[in-house]
Amino acid sequence: MADPKSFDALVIGAGFSGLYMLIKLREIGLSAQVVEAGSGVGGTWYWNRYPGARCDISSIEYSYSFDPELEQEWTWKERYSAQPDILEYLEHVADRYDLIDGITFDTRVTAARWNEEMARWLVETDKGGSFDVQFLILATGALSEPKLPDLPGLENFSGPILNTARWDDSVDLTGKRVCHFGVGSSGIQTVAEIGKIVEELTVFSRTPSFAVPCSNPPLTAEQSAAAKADYPAMRELQRHSALSFATLPKEGGAKVCEPAEREKRLESAWTESTFSLLLEFDDILFDDESNALVTEFAQRKLTQTITDPEKARKLIPQDVQLGGRRLCAEIGFYDAINQDNVTVVDVREEPVTNITTDAVVTDKGSYPADVIIFATGFDACVGAIKAIDIRGKGGQSIREEWANGPRAYLGLAVEGFPNMFTITGPGSPSVLSNVVVSIEQHVEWIARCLADMRERGAAVIEAEAQAEEAWLEHVDEVARPTIFPKANSWYMGHTRDGKRVFMPYVGGVGAYREKCDAVAAAGYEGFTLGVAP
């Protein structure tokens, strides 16, 4: 193996997080390298090239805020941009800030080991190269490690098997018989598009999500100009609001609103934007009675939308509170479902028993397939980190430490793993926010921390066990009164001490930012800082 290359910091991942992290590291004068498994920048927007992929938070909001010049020079074409446009934006960012020469592409980090004597990380890759760095920054993405079902007989299938998160656009679906698994955000977007071109489509659903109609007109020149003029105020609102949206929840509860008035308001919120229903009243995420009223409204709307009662029964969530699983935005999903050539199978009542060369077989029937598509989600929040063999102090392994659920102080650092930071790690708002806002906050906090360390002559920083434990308890405590821990969702994917853990921090993006800033201002309270060995 060649000698390791030395840098102050190694960043894993070149999505929104990794690109901005590289900019900030250079800004504070550290040498840094990014390692990225893909062949280009973009992360989520590099990998998820399935038909219909787009963001569901308006692009004006779902974009970097760190440079007013970038905001002014970039013009979004649509309210919710499609994947190619977001990828183009991130490629533009990489060019504009000369980032490409700092990124090693087509290379996966496989292992990282903390060397206690040297107080440095030795990082290994699948290409045989290695890095010797003081700081290890995991910009690996909360939704980047796809989760694929282990279906009986899958190895016998003779056609292409596609995964939305690793899309192969050389496969032409026109006129094909397709079996599609998963109706979360990715599946809903895919079905809407491929429904227009395939001959026959069978949609296998397990836990359906609520999807609201998403109107996506092109942005006019006037709208863009108005948004550009308003950027500073809008960003300020995002940074300090609970969910990092510029639109705040309207004051007043759903259950205390007069029924006719409530109906009128929900009717107008239904088509306004992806999350309008949740923002129409301020108690929907906290009060079961209020939530039930809005959930019933959404169920009623979907009953009117899906024309076949059997398909409606299978696709309208019955045992889920609206918002407990991530809301989806749909442009043409239910239109596709309403087509005669589309069949819906609920695998809870009709499990898959076998896959043959050209069909998916259940205990009730056989569904012909030239192509199988999996839109079956991600090993959220932890998968990409656990995929790397990370060894901290005393050789302890992050996989083992997190086997019973992730632990991290502020979702930023893990006790026993010094000089390692996680961007949008578990225990931070991450996936329960406009993720770009949360990414910028983490990147800026980490950069400030590294600059402060240098100023104080500190070389090592590590989260303290007690602070980490207290933070985990707080994350749990603020989640408990909300609807989130009651849902069967990927937010809750893991167990710690026999309990399922709600992974993101739901105490509010603004409050979280204040907490992180206070920790830094207090000399990195809850962290131990040390000098070089």
Binding site residues, ligand N01, CB under 6 A: 55-56, 143, 149, 181-187, 189, 204, 206-207, 326, 329, 347, 375-378, 431, 490
Nearer to ligand FAD, 382 or 458 (CB): 382
Residue 36 binding result from ligand FAD, ligand N01, none, given CB thresholds of 5 to 8 Å by partner type: ligand FAD
Task: Spell out the residues 6+ positions from residue 67 whose beta carbon is closer than 8 angstroms to its own.
Answer: none
Nearer to ligand FAD, 51 or 405 (CB): 51
CB of 435 to ligand N01, least distance (A): 8
Q: Tokens at residue 258, please?
A: 């007069």
Cα gap 488→388, rounded to integer Å: 27
Cα gap 133→275, rounded to integer Å: 41
CB of 487 to ligand N01, least distance (A): 10
Nearer to ligand N01, 35 or 183 (CB): 183
Residue 484 binding result from ligand N01, ligand FAD, none, given CB thresholds of 5 to 8 Å by partner type: none
β-strands 120-125, 352-355 pairing: unpaired
Q: What share of the chain is helix, strand, coil (3-state, %, to 5)?
A: 35, 20, 45
CB of 6 to ligand FAD, least distance (A): 19
Cα gap 32→441, rounded to integer Å: 19
Asked if residue 424 binds ligand FAD (CB under 6 A), the reply is yes
Task: Spell out the residues 6+ positions from residue 403 whose beta carbon is closer than 8 angstroms to its own.
Answer: none
Cα gap 109→106, rounded to integer Å: 10
Nearer to ligand FAD, 143 or 293 (CB): 143
Q: Site size for ligand FAD, by CB under 6 A?
A: 37
Other Cβ atoms within 10 Å of 520 Cβ, number? 15
CB of 466 to ligand N01, least distance (A): 32
Asked if residue 413 binds ligand FAD (CB under 6 A), the reply is no
Q: Which of residues 221-250 bind ligand FAD (CB under 6 A)?
A: none
CB of 509 to ligand FAD, least distance (A): 11
3-state secondary structure of 521: helix
From candidates 30, 139, 380, 516, binder to ligand FAD by CB under 6 A: 139
Q: Which region, judged by CB under 6 A, interacts with ligand FAD, from 40-48, 64-72, 338-346, 450-458?
A: 40-48
Nearer to ligand FAD, 101 or 222 (CB): 101
Other Cβ atoms within 10 Å of 351 Cβ, number? 15
Cα gap 387→379, rounded to integer Å: 10
Q: Let me know if 23 is exposed, middle or buried by CB neighbors in 10 A (0-12, 13-18, 19+).
A: buried
Asked if residue 411 binds ligand FAD (CB under 6 A), the reply is no
Asked if residue 439 binds ligand FAD (CB under 6 A), the reply is yes
Asked if residue 372 binds ligand FAD (CB under 6 A), the reply is no
Q: Tokens at residue 401, please?
A: 């430490």
Nearer to ligand FAD, 142 or 293 (CB): 142
* Helices (H) then strands (E): counts for the chain: 16, 22
Query: For residue 493, how far is the Cα from the chain centroid?
Result: 14
Give me the 162-191 binding string for ligand FAD, x by CB under 6 A, dash otherwise.
------------------------x-----
**Residue ranges of E strands in 274-404:** 328-330, 342-346, 352-355, 359-362, 366-368, 371-374, 389-391
Contact 513, 411 (CB under 8 A): no
Q: Which of residues 49-88 bind ligand FAD (CB under 6 A)?
A: 53, 55-57, 62
Nearer to ligand FAD, 123 or 458 (CB): 123
From candidates 246, 384, 450, 516, binder to ligand FAD by CB under 6 A: 384
φ, ψ of residue 110 in degrees (nearest 5): -105, -30
Residue numbers of the site for ligand FAD (CB under 6 A)? 12-18, 35-38, 43-44, 46, 48, 53, 55-57, 62, 108-109, 139-141, 143-144, 186, 384, 387-388, 423-424, 434-436, 439
